Structure 1
Amino acid sequence: MMLRTVSSSPLAPSVKVKLLHAGFHTGADLQDVEPHQLCRDAGISQKDAEEVLQTFLNDPRHLGCEKAAVEGLTALDLLQQEQSRGSIVTFCSELDAALGGGVAVGRSTEICGVPGIGKTQLCLQLAVDVQIPACFGGLGGKALFIDTEGSFVVQRVVDMAEAAVEHCALLAEDEEQRRALEDFTLEKILSGVFLVRCRDYVDLLAEVYLLPDFLKKHPEVQLVVIDSIAFPFRHDFEDLSQRTRLLNGFSQQLIQLAAQRSIAVVLTNQMTTKIADGQSKLVPALGESWGHAATHRLLLHWDGAVRLASLLKSPSHPDATVHYQIAAEGFRDSESDEVRPSVSSHGPAANHSKRPRTQTPHD
């Protein structure tokens, strides 16, 4: 049993938007909050504040949360759910192996890195790869791409889509796969990527607030990308505690959506400079508390002229660092991987014989 969210409550829409904007996303966020405090933080009237607290404090889902924990799923149920969800390949075989087959469905993944390292390129690749037909080991889904920086370039999607279609055509071995290719075309792939432009954090919060309704109307969407989460939240915030509260509620809502809707949520994050012991180093933006927000954290970085992807956080796979490149066709294995072992890669590889591979059978 899940705690009621603000977005699913019977409150007036104007009140819900103000609550979400102030960082109140679930009944748990309203525990121990007094009406006058809610008035001040959310900018609502005393009457509305009392109605909000009454709604959530009397909610049986809120009162029965301890019972819900006892009546939860078994470990076997969770294992079967995770195995049935699948993952989205990146077309970098070493990275897919480190991730246990690709970017996990039902989980959130954060991709960090400096400008130009390939964060958006990987996101665009995933938006194409989520549409690979099931008979090729894909999900046959669609993607929602939320762009906060104006970095979405449709020509790159075209390049990647054409390469994916050609790649699957080379792998086709039976009649089922050849029939699937009739619907796996450039036009179908482009129409399977929904694009939303958010220009500030208010736009982004509103979009996430509307996500459940969007996903109901488009159940085929199995990937939600936010590129980037950092950009709208690094500006216009004098009260950092408010920003932390907004981000915590934001991340919890996305984690719930990922699990409940069986979708992959991918967030990109920028880097910032941290001074410690008189020395500076680059670290992911938005503070240390944000580091716990996503289920998986992936860092894209340089080693000289070599691009590396490091898995820094995962509940199910060990840390690993692999090589990759950004080719004309998209996100790919490093050209020199065939003569140079990866820095480290300990994750289990996906063994599905029909799953898309970076190399063609002729390589």
Structure 2
Amino acid sequence: MEKNEKMKKEEDVKDEGKKLTIEDIPGVGEATAEKLRENGLDDIMAIATASPKDVSELTGIGEGSVAKIISAARKIADIGNFETGEEIFQKRKDVLRLTTGSNNLDSLLGGGLETQSITEFFGEFGSGKTQIMHQLAVNCTMPEEKGGFNSDVLIIDTENTFRPERIIQMSKYRELDSDEVLRRIHVARAYNSHHQILLGEKASEMAKEYNAKLLIVDSLTSHFRSEYMGRGSLSERQQLLNRHMHDLLRFGTLQNAVIAVTNQVAARPDVFFGDPTAPIGGNIVGHTATFRIYLRKGKAGKRIARLIDSPYLPEGEAVIQVSEDGIIDGT
């Protein structure tokens, strides 16, 4: 009898047109729902894509019970199953693209930065990483017909590099109301790696409140690099960085948002030919980032942006200009 009631409940919550809540998940009562909501797990998809261990640690609910709740949520959300290529292609039609401000760079990226993906910009100091982040923040507030999302922006600032004065300059060039643009950009300063991870976890709540379609982390690895030094702490650093990046990717998927991160580089003493620099974070960052852009300085304010990794786009380069007006095409 109990099994039949459970199956009936699972069928009922799948009815079209019904607004589903986490109470519709089998095994979730009022008390459990309250614990989940208190920790930011306030919709079925968020629970379906969560880790049982993480949810258990956050809520204090036993890991076995959490595993059953997540399993039920996945059935309702219809995730975790095999899909045909045609079905995935149809879902890809929901992907949006955000302009960078440069036609050259947009073309290199197949039309701009994709939602549901992490785009990493890495390079040496002064290569233009933070300038591009400021430009993306401005562009996100623009109307859709101009390549924007007409939405708010979330920025996790780890190095105190956000400058509202730069936003004002870029907004005026794009003929935008700079005061309105600044009101739509929400910045949180991350003081250490654990604070940075917490801000990444809380981003979903902020996105719902402000309808944010862009999450920027500038920079991704600086705290991890300074706090976990030496080979003895490498494993712990990579585990935390892996968790953080998957939180960011999950945010992008759930919110259909762009994730843009900057990364630092380090010299490789074993390289004698070619470029001796490599992005921080190793395989963890390399495998999780969907698109990787290497920035290097050119002459007269120009920057060379090289696409070195993408699931489907070929490697290539674009010339951009970092000017007082923002990011524009290089000539």
Return the TM-score normalized by structure 1: 0.70
Q: Distance in 2 between matches of 1:92 and 1:122?
A: 10
Alignment equivalent of 2:183, drawn from 188, 191, 210: 191
The Cα offsets for residues 127-179 of structure 1, whole Å up to 9 and x where unpaired, read as: 001111123343211211111001111111111010011xxxxxxxxxxxxxx
Verify the 8 A CA contact 1:125 1:331 in the aligned structure 2: yes
* Alignment pair present for 1:162 and 2:172: yes
Matches of 1:214 and 1:138, distance apart in 2: 19
Q: For the residues of structure 2 that align with 1:73 and 1:246, how far apart are their CA atoms? A: 31
1:200 and 2:195 matched: no
Partner of residue 87, structure 1 = 97
Instruction: Work out whether residues 122 and 265 of structure 2, in 8 Å CA contact, stay in contact via their aligned partners in 1.
Output: yes
Q: Is the 8 A contact 1:11 1:52 kept in 2?
A: no
Residue 274 of structure 1 pairs with residue 268 of structure 2 = yes
SS in 2 for 1:235: helix
> Residues 102 and 278 of structure 1: is their aligned pair in 2 closer, same or farther, counting only changes over 3 Å?
closer
* Secondary structure of the structure 2 residue equivalent to 1:275: coil
- Relative distance call for 1:64 and 1:263 in structure 2 (3 A) is closer
Please give the residue correspondences for 1:177-256 in structure 2 after superposition, counting only pairs within 5 Å. 184-219=176-211, 221-237=212-228, 239-256=233-250
Give the Cα–Cα distance (whole angstroms) in 1 for the partners of residues 236 and 173 of structure 2. 44
- Over 3 Å counting, the alpha-carbon distance change for 1:135 and 1:222 in structure 2 is same
Out of 110, 118, 122, the position equivalent to 2:128 is 118
Counterpart amino acid of residue 133 in structure 2: C
Q: Secondary structure at the match of 2:269?
A: strand
Q: Name the residue aligned to 1:26.
A: 51
What amino acid does structure 1 have at the position aligned with 2:296? Answer: H
**Identity %, equivalent residues:** 25
Kindly indicate whether residue 313 of structure 2 is the aligned counterpart of residue 317 of structure 1. Answer: yes
Residues in 2 aligned to 1:52 and 1:303: alpha-carbon distance in whole angstroms: 56
1:303, distance to aligned residue in structure 2 (A): 5.0
- Look up the equivalent residue of 2:185 and give its one-letter code: V
Q: Deviations over 1:339-360 (max 9, x none)?
A: xxxxxxxxxxxxxxxxxxxxxx
Highest RCO, 1 vs 2 (Cα 8 Å, sep ≥ 6): 1
Asked if the contact 1:56–1:62 (Cα under 8 Å) also holds between the matched residues in 2, the reply is no
1:314 and 1:284 mapped to 2: Cα distance? 16
Q: Is the 8 A contact 2:100 2:327 kept in 1?
A: yes
Cα offset, 1:243, TM superposition: 1.2
RMSD of the alignment, in Å?
3.0
Q: Which runs of 5+ in 1 are unaligned?
A: 1-7, 17-24, 31-37, 166-183, 337-363
User: How far apart are 1:80 and its partner, in Å?
Assistant: 3.5
SS at 2:133's partner residue? helix
Aligned length: 282
Partner of residue 264, structure 1: 258
C-alpha separation in 2, matches of 1:213 and 1:318: 36
Aligned AA for 2:219?
S
Give the letter for the 1:79 counterpart.
Answer: F
- 3-state secondary structure, aligned to 1:69: coil
8 Å CA contact retained: 1:298, 1:312: yes
Find the aligned partners of 1:60 and 1:102 in 2 and give their Cα distance.
34
| Structure 2 gaps, min length 5 | 1-32, 42-49
The correspondence for 2:329, drawn from 314, 330, 333, is 333
SS in 2 for 1:146: strand
Q: Name the structure 1 match of 2:287.
A: 292
Q: Distance in 2 between matches of 1:148 and 1:242?
A: 20
Are the aligned partners of 2:52 and 2:70 in contact in 1 as well (CA < 8 Å)? no
